[in-house]
Amino acid sequence: MTAGADRGARYAHWSISLRAGVAVVILGVSILPVGEWLDQRFQRALSYQGVGLGLGTALVALLGAVLFIVFRHDDRASLLSRPLDALVSAFERQPWRACALLGGIAALLYVYVAWTVFDATPLLIDEIVQVWQARVFAGGDLWLPLGAHPEFQSIMHLVEQDGRLYGQFPPGGPAMLALGELIRAPWLVNPVSGGISAALFAAVLHWSGIRPRVVLGAALLFAFAPFVVFQSASHMNHVTALMWLLVAAAALVRATRDGVDRPLAGFVCGLGLGVAATIRPLDAAAFAVPAAVWLAARAINKRCWRAFLLSGAGVAIPMAAMLWVNAHTTGHPLTFGYTVLWGESHGLGFHESPWGERHDWARGVALTAAYLNRLNEFLFEIPIPSLIPALAAFALTRRLAPVERYLLVSSGLILGAYFAYWHDGFYLGPRFLVPLSPALALLVARLPGVIAERWQAQRVARAVMAAYAAAAILGVSLMLPYRVRSYQSGFQSMRWDYDRLAATAGARNGVVLVRESWGAQVIARLWALGVSRSFAEILYRKVDTCGLDYAAAALARGAARGAEAENRLRPLLEDSARVVASPFSPDATERVLPGSVYPPDCIQRIEEDRAGYAHFAPVLLARDTTIRWLRDLHAHDTLVVTLGDRPVWLLRRTPDTVSVELELRRVNTDSLRAAWYGSSDSRSLTRDAARLFR
């Protein structure tokens, strides 16, 4: 053996050993209760605790053994392999038609899921605000003028700054949704983007020279992984960001295929990364750093400078557009809306979060463990951890292809970035980890071939395929139906068609007061005082709701606003260690100080909560402009409601424990007047209430 070959063998052995160690650590963190050990709030998914994990593994092993025995002979195995071989041959003959067909089928599936599971409706506050911002963009504006009393229409992620009202998110995501808003169908943007992502991923692997069987398997796994399907049926910006990241990856593979300098491919690579940065800057940075290193090394070694330089130009164009939008909204090119809204503590790092919690390395590890555990469950919706085959392939592969190294390094940077980020990003699964799905799908598809090559044992590879089939059968028959039902039944009060509800009730040209929970009303009162979003959140989480409500009402009658109001409210935090979740209201976020005595007004607010409340955020997307939708703030409503001018209606949730219904009923203005002028907003505090924030 030559010295070079010996060094190569040692390097390969060292690489495999290192990857095996990393795989073992990641698998352990994703299965063991590491998050619970470090932070009790991050509990493992029930299906991956003890008995659930053991039972799922046993079922897959049992069914897999049955399938292996049934199809162990070559003649029977060929019954299954022939259709797959035909698909692979068709892909080899016409790869571009196959990629387009896969993308089209995936997009149709995502459209179907968006319509049947999510009612083609934005459900999470992040989705609602981005659709709202998309409408603003589609109307030709960057922001809307701020009204005189914004508390009646404020919601959590809308920024109110110097007379401007705009969403907190980077502009790229809403701009993508604005394309759908032009045809009044923003819900189609993500399904189409997801379909394009499926086609692009197949193209990336094909251009990378990976075996067609692996390409087809990885493309199918990615396109139809339940995690990807549900995310692609939502309004979340992870989907459009991933599409542009895959545009960049496809162009990067083209630009680095051989020694030819391909400036256009370099430019498209940069353009994809730049557009992704306008949607999710952190994700784009994780993919841009290794791409820049790859292109720079190639430029130095093979004199392909034009592709490298033009990739920078491609990044600069959409980034310049984003900086221009920032300058005209937040007031500074490098300042994003979420920084204006939540402060510098919103960013990466180990510090106190905007909600008052300390984010340190232990919490970062706990969050990362929670993300990986959820990915085990949500990626493929199978009874065994989804990361097992991916990590096995990662550890056993003798040599990773360049595109695999690129995707894996980018995925590692994603994990590292969100390790240092304080927020727990959970919606339809660990949404921050959506960019990891292409790399994981590729590894899972590679495992049978890796095993067959490493041990020259087709029977072992067939056993792996039998386990795959067993896991898929059990997942589709047992786990996936449960997930679909849970998503269909969730967020029911956010799905209502408010325009149709108003039209049915005859509320056109009227004022509709939306009765939210007492806690939501208190937060809006704090915002009206100029209390920052972050400090309002801290107060709400750590102060008795009744005392906070009375304190806000008292300050509203005076002149204290902004920092002065915050200073006057700060003493309320002295009892924060004693405050507990309210056992009286159906809104579990409200707080109570044990031993306090509630005055009649606070008792009435709790009774209103029990009678049913609605959510204000969805009404911002109602299209009937003749209706004035406002948050109900009781006596505070006198600032915006003129009696006798327009009919007044009240929207609230009906007190029905079986199904979620919203009712819209006409309000007698005399009863409104009596309620307003007999409320706590127009009289001094009672002695019992004063105890709560003394």
Residue boundaries of the structural domains of the chain: 1-70+357-490, 99-342, 498-693
pLDDT value at residue 399: 86
Q: How far is C-alpha 233 from the geometric centre of its chain's CA atoms? A: 12
pLDDT value at residue 509: 84
Q: How far is C-alpha 479 from the geometric centre of its chain's CA atoms? A: 21
Q: Is 353 helix (H, G, I), strand (E, B) or coil?
A: coil
Distance between CA atoms of residues 202 and 199, nearest Å? 5
Query: What are the 10-residue block averages of pLDDT along the chain, 694 residues in total?
Result: 60 77 91 79 59 77 84 65 80 91 97 97 96 97 91 92 95 98 96 98 94 94 98 98 98 90 95 98 97 94 91 97 97 95 91 89 92 93 93 91 95 96 93 97 94 80 88 92 93 88 86 91 93 94 93 88 93 91 89 89 90 90 90 78 74 67 77 60 37 34
Strands, sheet with 144-145, edge to edge from the N-terminal-most edge strand: 144-145, 164-167, 158-161
Sign of torsion over alpha carbons 351, 355, 357, 362: negative
Distance between CA atoms of residues 443 and 458, nearest Å? 18
Measured in degrees and rounded to the nearest 5, phi and psi for residue 626 equal: -80, -15
Distance between CA atoms of residues 11 and 9, nearest Å? 5
End-to-end Cα distance, the chain: 83
Helix ranges (DSSP H) in 426-562: 437-455, 458-474, 480-489, 498-505, 518-528, 533-542, 545-556
Q: Which residues pair with 630 in a beta bridge?
A: 513
pLDDT value at residue 686: 35
Distance between CA atoms of residues 597 and 454, nearest Å? 72
